[in-house]
Structure formats: structure tokens, C-alpha cells
A and B are shown apart, each in its own frame.
Chain A
Amino acid sequence: MFDTEFFNLGYLDRLSYQNTFIHRIDPRIKLISSLMFIVAVVSFPKYAVTGLLPFFIFPVLFLTLGDIPFRFILKKILFVSPFAVFIGIFNPLLDSQPALNFLGFTVSRGWMSFVSIMLKFSLTISAALLLIATTSFPGICFAMQKLRIPKAFVAQLLFLYRYLFVLMEEAMKIVRARDMRSFNKRGKGIKHFVPLIGVLFIRTVDRAERVYNAMLARGFNGKIYSTKAYALTMSDILFIFASVGLILLFRVVNLTTLIGRWTTG
């Protein structure tokens, strides 16, 4: 039921429980290398275009090796793109100095920086999506805890995630019921929205009370334990070395212009 609802949250969650080479890599390793990847991409200067291209090998490898459907990720990227496009599109309008000349066409600096923003956007957003699609959410929480993120916050994330689907189901019921008794836009305004949210809130607080009682009955003492044990394996270590090495190589050497220079002489 969650596959199609609310940004395919359930589908993305289900993808993360596959068993492929990428999925098996330790969450800590994937989190750290994803963060390094993002910082490396973002650290490119404003007009960088060619230097960013080699980085696309990472999402391609994650998509193919991790069995993640490309169209699904693409759709999600396009869905969140408006803000970056909206801000970026001012660059070509405001900066029209020529940057390069190709077969008679002159490309302005503004377009270069716009393309750069879009490349960075697709790389960083796909990094976040592919991280969650190949590492389960509890796995990421575990990695965060190991990276010294405060325990109270990690526990909060785990709790939120645990009850996310329960409450979403409740919200879906509310939406369905409202759709059935309202025609077109009548009955969908703020006036009727507020009591719906109010009721949902009160139900939520009552649920928290029941959850707490159930936890007490099972011996809750304020601490939260993880049952899944993670241990670093040889392939984890190889993966981190390979990814860090490639990220550094791509960041320091502009492979694209290098290859271009070789081939064009």
C-alpha cells in the first residue's frame, strides 16, 4: 500500500532490504563514503563542468550493482529539482560573459555555472537516495550512533521510523474518508483541515501512551538496544579504500580534459 503513496516511501524502504554486493557493505562505510563523495562534488568551483563528469560512475555502479531501478531514482530526483532549477536559472540570465567557444557557438559563463549546479544537484541527490536505497534506515541509524551522534537523537530517529508507517496508514484513512465526503475542493479548506489534524494529534498522543505502557511491560528502562551485529569485513575495507581513492583522484585530476587532450592531440 505504501509503494505508491507519499513519495514511494515504502518502496524505497523495501529496496533497502535487498541482498546485493552493495547492500551487504557495512552501513558505516557507505555513510562515510557517501559524505565524502558529496563534499568532493560540492567543493568543485562554480564553473566546473568537465571535472564533475567522472563522478557519475558512482551512482551508475550503485544503481547497477545494487539492483535499483534507474527510472525510479530519476523520477525522485526530478521531483525535488524545482528549487535548485529555480535558483540556478538566474545564473544564465545574470552572467552572460562568454566562457567557451565551440564550433561557432559561444557558451556563456552563466550557462556553465547553471550546468554545474545541475550536475552537482543530480550527483548529491542521487547519493542521498542511493544511500538509503542500499542501506536500511536502521542501518544508517546504527552508523550514526557509531559516528558519535548523540544516542537520544538516534533513538528518536528509530522511533520515528518505527511509527512512520503506522501513522501514515492512519492519515491515509483520514484522507480517503475526507475525499468521500467532499466534492471537488469543497470541504478541503483550512476550516475542516484543522480538526482533522487535531484529532490525528490526539490519537497520536494516546498511542504514545499505549506504546509507553507496552514498553514498560516489556522491561523498558530508558535504553535502546540494537540486536543486529555489524562487523567490518575484508570487502568493506576494500570498498572504502577504492571509493576514497577514486573520489580523491577525480577531485584532484580532471580526467575529462585529460582524456580530451589525449584524443584530440
Chain B
Amino acid sequence: MHMADALLSPAAGATFWAGTLAAIAYCSKKLKETMDEKMVPLMGVLGAFIFAAQMINFTIPATGSSGHLGGGMILSIVLGPYAAFVVMASVLTVQALFFADGGLLALGCNIWNLGIYPCFIAYPLIYKPLAGSGATSGRITAAAMISGVVGLQLGAFSVVLQTLLSGRSELPFNTFVLLMQPIHLGIGIVEGFVTAGVINFIKSARPEIIESAFSTRPIAAGVSLRNVLVGLSVAALLTGGTLSWFASANPDGLEWSIEKTFGKPELPEQPQGITHSLKRVQEATSFLPDYSFRKTGEKTESAGAGEKAEVWPNVESGKSLSGMVGSGIVIGMILLIGFSIKAVKKKT
């Protein structure tokens, strides 16, 4: 599922762009160091392959609907994580531009969701250990299945987090998670099944492709647990950064800031100790379910709009009227400009 610009706040979008750009830069550097130049055309053509493969639909058993391939896991298995990530990022960039899947600000999130998780978590931590080097087709199937499901579950969860961090949707955390995860469980199983089938097919038809992919590339072996842990902590830091950003921008959603504003903590707090730290954990996590309660937060945001922010309970007919009339005039003017340009262009 692609994240959309309209559901993002600039802060969340920028944060994930930063993470994605850092990952692209890191992978590019890694590729430059280790890659033989033969990989350049191979990666490019395999990116095009993902598109071509997505044109071929298949019917999903029991549902009657049709699906197509995602491709992140196949790429990781054949190319190794660094090259696969760069290919995935390029595929998603073309999709964002030509199909408008999501949009340009959300592209950072989408590359993160569909690239980082399969390439740097599902592949090195699940697929590789499970499949091993001299894998049988049964092991490949199991490994592809599990890693496909885990990768997509993480991606779907990430969409939920990005939406909630942005605060444009009213959907409460629990409902959203319950909507997203089961859908993507189904998609993940199908994707895992197809991935396993394709890898086994290639292995039986042309074993040297996969074997050479394992042996000639030091890249595949180069993903150490340490690197992944570093990556994960960077991700955690980024997410934490966004959280605190929001904490300062929209104080009302967070209980701690209510306490701060009214200066009335509910409990006589101990400055240290386990209750204190537990409370901090609770404070940090409690704002997700409560995220829909934003009453005055919009004021702080729209204060930048240079005029007096509207207070919501204040339902005023006069104000609504001027807003409606103004909207009508603005739309009319834009249409007028558009049509007159068209008319002038036709004449010339």
C-alpha cells in the first residue's frame, strides 16, 4: 500500500525522506566499493523487469481478485540487499512520477516502507539464516514465505505510524492497525508464495544465476548483524525525532504537556525511580491512541498563517459566509484564467 502526500505532515515526510536519502547514499557508496561494473546494466534491466512483471496479473486463489508482484524479496535474493534497495528505490521513484502512486513527498516514506524492510530486515535477518547457502526448495519456500510476510507487515505498520505521526487522519491507532495488518498478511502470503516459486524456478532452470549471485558478490555476505542494528537504531532515532517534533508542535495531544500547561500533575511525582520512568514510557506511548484529540493544536500551526487563528467551538455564520463567497470567487478566477489561456492559445 502506498502512502499518500495528502495524509502526511511536512515533518513526517521530511524525516522519512532524510532516512531514505541516507540509505540511498549509503548503498550507492557500498555499491561503488564492491561492485563490478557488470552490475550497472543488470540492476537497471532488473528494475524494468519489476515493471514488466507487474503488468502480468494473476488471479488470487479463493478471492477471485487479481494481484501482481511486489518484487522486493526477489531482488534482495538475487542481487543482495544494497543493489536491491537501490533498484527498489528507482522503481518506486518511477511509480511516483508516472503513476502518481503516493506523490513526491510520500516517496521517502514509500521507499522506506517497501525498500528498507525487505532488503535490510526481512532478507538478512530472516531469509538468509532460514534458507542457508545450499538451500533445498522446501527451505527456500519457507524462508521466502516468512520473510515476505514479515517485510510487508513491517511496511504496513510503518504506513500506520506515518499516518498517525502526521495527524491528518482521525483513525485511531488500534482500528488502523486492525485494518492494515490483516490485509497485508494476505498480500504477504501471496507475495511470499510467488517469490518462492520464482526463485525455485530460476534455481532449477538456471542455477548459475543464483549461485553466482551468492558467490561473486561479497555484498550478500557483507550484511552483518552490526550494520542492521546500526540501521535500526538510526530508524528509531529518526522516529523519535519526529515524535518529539510533534510533541513540541502540538502540545495538546500529549498528557504531559497538559500537565505542563496547567501546572497540575495528577500525582505528586517522585523525581526519580521506577514510577517516574514508567510514567515517562506511558507518556511517550499514550499519545498514539489519543492522537485524535486535537483541539487547540491547530491554532499553533495556523498561527503562522499571519492572521488570528480560528477557534473551533466558535461557529459563526458570518465567517462561514465570507469563507464560502471567497471560495467561490477564487475558484471562479482560477477557472477564468485557465479558460482564457486556452482560448488565447487556440487562436494563435
* B94 on the A face (CB < 8 A): yes
Residues of B within 8 A of A195 (CB): 197, 201
Residue tally, chain B, CB below 8 Å to A: 113
Complex Cα spacing A201 to B6, Å: 36
Smallest Cβ-Cβ distance to A255: which chain B residue: B330
A182 CB to nearest chain B CB (Å): 10
Q: Is the CB of B169 within 8 A of A90?
A: yes
* A64 on the B face (CB < 8 A): yes
Q: Is the CB of A208 within 8 A of B45?
A: yes
Complex Cα spacing A56 to B4, Å: 19
A249 CB to nearest chain B CB (Å): 10
Which A148-191 residues have a C-beta within 8 angstroms of B? 149-153, 155-164, 166-168, 170-172, 174-175, 178, 185, 188-190
Residues of A within 8 A of B197 (CB): 190, 194-195, 197-198
Which A235-261 residues have a C-beta within 8 angstroms of B? 251-261
Residues of A within 8 A of B201 (CB): 194-195, 197-198
* A232 on the B face (CB < 8 A): no
Q: Is the CB of A117 within 8 A of B86?
A: no
* A87 on the B face (CB < 8 A): yes
- Which bucket holds chain A's interface residue count? 35 or more
Q: Known A125-B100, A153-B90, A163-B48; judge A175-B58 contact (CB<8 A).
A: no
Complex Cα spacing A210 to B189, Å: 35
Q: Is the CB of B171 within 8 A of A83?
A: no
Q: Which of A207, A254, A261 contacts B305 (CB 8 A)?
A: A254
Q: Is the CB of A48 within 8 A of B302?
A: yes
Majority secondary structure, B binding face? helix
* A91 on the B face (CB < 8 A): yes
Query: Could you count the A-B residue pairs with CB atoms below 8 Å apart for me: how many are there?
Result: 368
Q: Is the CB of B334 within 8 A of A56?
A: yes
* B288 on the A face (CB < 8 A): no
Which B308-348 residues have a C-beta within 8 angstroms of A? 312, 315-327, 329-331, 334-335, 337-338, 341-342, 345
Q: Is the CB of B42 within 8 A of A212?
A: yes
Q: Is the CB of B307 within 8 A of A168?
A: no
* A76 on the B face (CB < 8 A): yes
* B157 on the A face (CB < 8 A): no
Q: Which of B10, B41, B334 contacts A39 (CB 8 A)?
A: B10
Q: Which of B44, B205, B209, B324 contacts A102 (CB 8 A)?
A: B324
Q: Known A12-B98, A208-B42; judge A164-B326 contact (CB<8 A).
A: no
Smallest Cβ-Cβ distance to A87: which chain B residue: B169
Q: Is the CB of B5 within 8 A of A54?
A: no
Q: Is the CB of A200 within 8 A of B90?
A: no
Q: Is the CB of B329 within 8 A of A263?
A: yes
Q: Is the CB of B205 within 8 A of A198?
A: yes
Complex Cα spacing A162 to B53, Å: 16
Q: Is the CB of A156 within 8 A of B345?
A: no
Smallest Cβ-Cβ distance to A211: which chain B residue: B41
Complex Cα spacing A255 to B53, Å: 47
Highest count of chain A CB atoms <10 Å: which of B56, B64, B206, B292:
B56
* A19 on the B face (CB < 8 A): no
B42 CB to nearest chain A CB (Å): 4
Smallest Cβ-Cβ distance to B11: which chain A residue: A43
A160 CB to nearest chain B CB (Å): 4
Residues of B within 8 A of A97 (CB): 312
Q: Is the CB of B326 within 8 A of A222?
A: no
A4 CB to nearest chain B CB (Å): 13
Q: Is the CB of B6 within 8 A of A121?
A: yes
Complex Cα spacing A190 to B133, Å: 26
* B97 on the A face (CB < 8 A): yes
B336 CB to nearest chain A CB (Å): 10
Complex Cα spacing A205 to B29, Å: 24
Q: Which of B2, B66, B170, B292 contacts A83 (CB 8 A)?
A: B2
Smallest Cβ-Cβ distance to A124: which chain B residue: B5
Complex Cα spacing A264 to B60, Å: 58
Q: Is the CB of B306 within 8 A of A42?
A: no
17 extra A-B contacts, CB within 8 A, seeds A6-B55, A46-B294, A156-B44? A38-B103, A57-B337, A83-B1, A100-B323, A101-B316, A101-B317, A117-B169, A124-B5, A125-B100, A185-B64, A190-B60, A194-B198, A205-B42, A205-B209, A224-B40, A255-B326, A257-B323
Task: Identify 15 residue pairs between A and B in the complex whose beta-carbon atoms are under 8 Å apart, listed by A's number.
Answer: A35-B104, A56-B331, A61-B337, A64-B338, A94-B171, A124-B104, A128-B103, A140-B97, A153-B89, A159-B47, A171-B56, A200-B53, A201-B202, A204-B52, A260-B321
A-contacting residues of B (Cβ < 8 Å)? 1-2, 4-10, 13-14, 21, 24-25, 27-29, 31-32, 37-38, 40-49, 51-53, 55-61, 64, 66, 69, 74, 86-87, 89-91, 93-94, 96-105, 163, 167-172, 175, 190, 193-194, 197-198, 201-202, 205-206, 209, 292, 294, 298, 301-302, 304-307, 312, 315-327, 329-331, 334-335, 337-338, 341-342, 345
Query: 8 shortest A-B CB distances, which residue pairs?
Result: A159-B44, A260-B326, A198-B201, A194-B197, A260-B322, A124-B5, A160-B47, A121-B6
